[in-house]
Amino acid sequence: MSTLIYRIASSLLLGLAALVVAPTQAAPLFTTLDPAQPSDIPGKIEVLEFFAYTCPHCAKIEPLVVNWRKTLPDTVVFKGVPVAFNASMRDLQKLYYALDAVGRLDLNDAVFKAIHEENKRLFKADDIINWVAAQGVDRKSFTDAFNSFGVQTKITRADELAKAYHIDGTPSFAIGGRFVTSPAQTGSYQGAIDESDKLVKRLLTQGK
């Protein structure tokens, strides 16, 4: 009996030792898409930033995104994709694409600041249009764009992309239709930018 007890104890100790010394597998810094998604711009590596104006993490990472975009080569196309997780976020999608339509995406950072630093309630169409007009944008031109079929078409495409890339949180970055990464995966805002940059360079190298 003592021999049996000894063997059992030894087995338990060895098992515990294996647990202690066994290396823990690091969490992946990105997700690989299967199947890969086609680019809307053939011949270019497409980088998509899935974001929401109401997302505080998107507001925090935005300055890093702006700086990173300046370093991307001409073979890379960067596109913002506003996400709506519910119907109340739809007008904020329209805000982004309407600003794009009137050539005023330079106000993108100002939108984040208005919502997260100045506590502006830019959630409904009237409030959004009033705020944009106060920034010096022609009210009629913006309103027409805001309610246009073209903007609605882009929103439909944004919804399709969010579904195709399995986006359940923002900010998230899709690289070349093949990879998705985010601060939630990398552990930091800068980590998400760095990982996205590595994935871009990986695809550029493979394309040579």
Domains of the chain: 31-206 (3.40.30.10)
Instruction: Write down the pLDDT at residue 207.
Output: 64
Cβ-count burial 189-204 (b if 16+ within 10 Å, e if not): beebbbbbbebbeebe
Distance CA(58)–CA(173), nearest Å, equals 11
Instruction: Write down the pLDDT at residue 173.
Output: 98
What residues are paired with 32 via a beta bridge? 179
State whether residue 2 is helix, strand or coil: helix
Instruction: Write down the pLDDT at residue 4.
Output: 42
Instruction: Write down the pLDDT at residue 43.
Output: 87
Length of the chain (residues): 208
Contact call for residues 39 and 177 (beta carbons, < 8 A): yes
Name residues of the chain where pLDDT drops below 50.
1-24, 208
What residues are paired with 48 via a beta bridge? 79, 174
Distance CA(111)–CA(120), nearest Å, equals 9
pLDDT tens digit sequence for 150-201? 999 999 999 999 999 999 999 999 999 999 999 999 999 999 999 999 999 9
Instruction: Write down the pLDDT at residue 41.
Output: 86
- Sorted by sequence, the CB contacts under 8 Å of residue 50 that are 6+ apart come out as 81, 83, 161, 162, 165, 167, 170, 171, 172, 173, 174
What is the H or E stretch that residue 184 is in? helix 183-186
Note if the pTM is more than 0.95: no
